[in-house]
């Protein structure tokens, strides 16, 4: 039987992260990172299992070359830390999960050997001693949470030697003992500063020369952070956004700068993009922009000011923009009043929803 590759990217710090942050957003962060790692699979590895904070890949009866395997490892590290940088730079949520996500790290353990397969609920899964060994190697004596480890078996197959050095890697030799069996391996810590991170869209910060065309102020008996969640988590929009028939969005993504969603109103699709603007020090802001309106553009900014742990003030600023004189007349005579009326109804519905949620807790 030929050697097969066993490959496990594992998110370091997962347990502490989940136990000490908001559950829902921590789940979203981990889900996004696992998706990023899956998409960074350039060697056509088979995904055997999602193991909480890790992915178990294999490549049956084939071991990629040293060049391809090290490139695959680098690609996954690059994708992982690029996404963490995106989460950091485009973050709007102040919760612990979103704030602490950039502290997560990655380790990748690689092994090879003969594997068998078992079928569980119709799905074929790797099985055997080599599978047990690669999982045991996740628990090792390496004094780091950010590294790649290649077992002695796979290192020999690809010709990787102790002391191998490149711009990213410097491999050292070590070993650990599992069930009285000495297991040797090579490992290299990964210097994140040496990764060429993937680019992402720069957050759009908007500034205005004029005051908002519409301002509505309401107090809510809820924390500022929870109010932000009800506004930015689009799954809640169904409960309070009046006139909206359908909302389309990425259910696995935490809303951040650059996020997009679609509101369907009377069959018309309104595409929104998340933006921001400067606010006072202790205020939280969420903004969205759409051009799919009879006038040229509308910005909505939900600015939340904490008053106490259970009380906050929402100031909704709306900036409708019209360039031609005809559109400006239509805006002033009809559209502005309609926007203000429908928005006020939505905020009333949001208040009712929050009160109902409070009673159901």
Could you tell me the pTM of the whole model? 0.87
pLDDT at 361: 39
**3-state percent helix, strand, coil for the chain, nearest multiple of 5:** 35, 35, 35
pLDDT at 331: 67
Q: What contacts 54, CB < 8 A, 6 or more positions away?
A: 8, 9, 10, 11, 138
Q: Which residue bears the tokens 């360039």?
A: 323
Per the CB < 8 A criterion, the answer to whether 37 and 79 are in contact is yes
* Mean pLDDT along residues 241-256: 91
pLDDT at 359: 53
Q: Is 261 helix (H, G, I), strand (E, B) or coil?
A: strand
Question: Which pLDDT tens digit goes with each residue over 79-114?
Answer: 999 999 999 999 998 888 888 899 999 999 999 999
Residue 229: name the closest of 28, 10, 46, 3 by CA. 28
Strand partners, 271: 262
Question: Which pLDDT tens digit goes with each residue over 15-50?
Answer: 788 777 777 888 889 999 999 999 999 999 999 999
Q: Is 182 left (phi over 0), alpha (psi -120 to 50) or beta?
A: beta
Question: Average pLDDT over the chain, rounded to whole?
Answer: 92
pLDDT at 207 over 80: yes
Q: How far apart are CA 139 and CA 361, in angstroms?
A: 41
pLDDT at 22: 76
Bigger pLDDT: 70 vs 266: 70
Per the CB < 8 A criterion, the answer to whether 337 and 231 are in contact is no
Q: How far apart are CA 143 and CA 335, in angstroms?
A: 63
* Mean pLDDT along residues 183-203: 92
Q: How far apart are CA 282 and CA 305, in angstroms?
A: 7
pLDDT at 294 over 90: no
* Mean pLDDT along residues 237-262: 92
Q: Which residue bears the tokens 């809820």?
A: 222
Task: Give the DSSP letter of residue 309.
Answer: T
Per the CB < 8 A criterion, the answer to whether 274 and 92 are in contact is yes
pLDDT at 335 over 90: no
Bigger pLDDT: 201 vs 128: 128
* Mean pLDDT along residues 126-145: 94
Share of the chain above pLDDT 90, in %: 75
Bigger pLDDT: 273 vs 123: 273
pLDDT at 317: 97
């Amino acid at each position: 039987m030929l050697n097969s590759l066993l490959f496990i990217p594992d998110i370091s710090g997962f347990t502490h992260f989940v136990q000490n942050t908001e559950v829902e957003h921590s789940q979203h962060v981990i889900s996004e990172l696992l998706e990023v790692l899956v998409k960074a699979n350039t060697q056509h590895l088979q995904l055997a299992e999602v193991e909480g904070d890790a992915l178990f890949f294999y490549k049956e009866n084939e071991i990629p070359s040293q060049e391809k395997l090290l490139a695959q490892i680098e690609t996954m590290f690059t994708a992982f830390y690029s996404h963490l940088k995106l989460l950091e730079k485009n973050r709007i949520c102040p919760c612990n999960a979103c704030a602490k996500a950039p502290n997560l790290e990655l380790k990748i353990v690689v092994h090879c050997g003969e594997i068998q397969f078992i079928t569980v609920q119709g799905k074929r899964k790797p099985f055997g001693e080599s599978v047990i060994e690669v999982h045991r190697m996740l628990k090792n004596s390496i004094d780091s949470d950010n590294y790649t480890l290649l077992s002695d078996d796979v290192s020999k197959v690809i010709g990787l030697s102790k002391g191998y050095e490149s711009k990213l890697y410097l491999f050292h030799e070590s070993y650990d003992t599992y069930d009285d069996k000495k297991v040797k391996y090579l490992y290299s810590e990964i210097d994140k500063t040496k990764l060429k991170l993937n680019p992402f869209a720069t957050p759009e910060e908007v500034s205005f020369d004029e005051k908002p065309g519409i301002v509505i102020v309401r107090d809510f008996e809820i924390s500022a952070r929870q109010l932000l969640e009800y506004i930015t988590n689009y799954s809640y929009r169904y409960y309070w956004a009046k006139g909206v028939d359908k909302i389309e969005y990425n259910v696995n993504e935490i809303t951040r700068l650059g996020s997009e969603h679609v509101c369907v109103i009377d069959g018309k699709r309104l595409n929104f993009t998340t933006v921001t603007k400067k606010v006072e020090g202790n205020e939280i802001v969420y903004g969205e922009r759409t051009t799919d309106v009879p006038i040229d553009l509308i910005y909505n900014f939900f600015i939340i000011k904490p008053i106490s742990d259970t009380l906050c003030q929402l100031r909704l600023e709306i900036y409708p923009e019209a360039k031609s004189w005809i559109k400006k007349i239509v805006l002033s005579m009809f559209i502005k009043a309609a926007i203000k009326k429908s928005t006020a109804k939505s905020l009333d519905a949001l208040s009712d929803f929050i009160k109902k949620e409070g009673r159901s807790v």
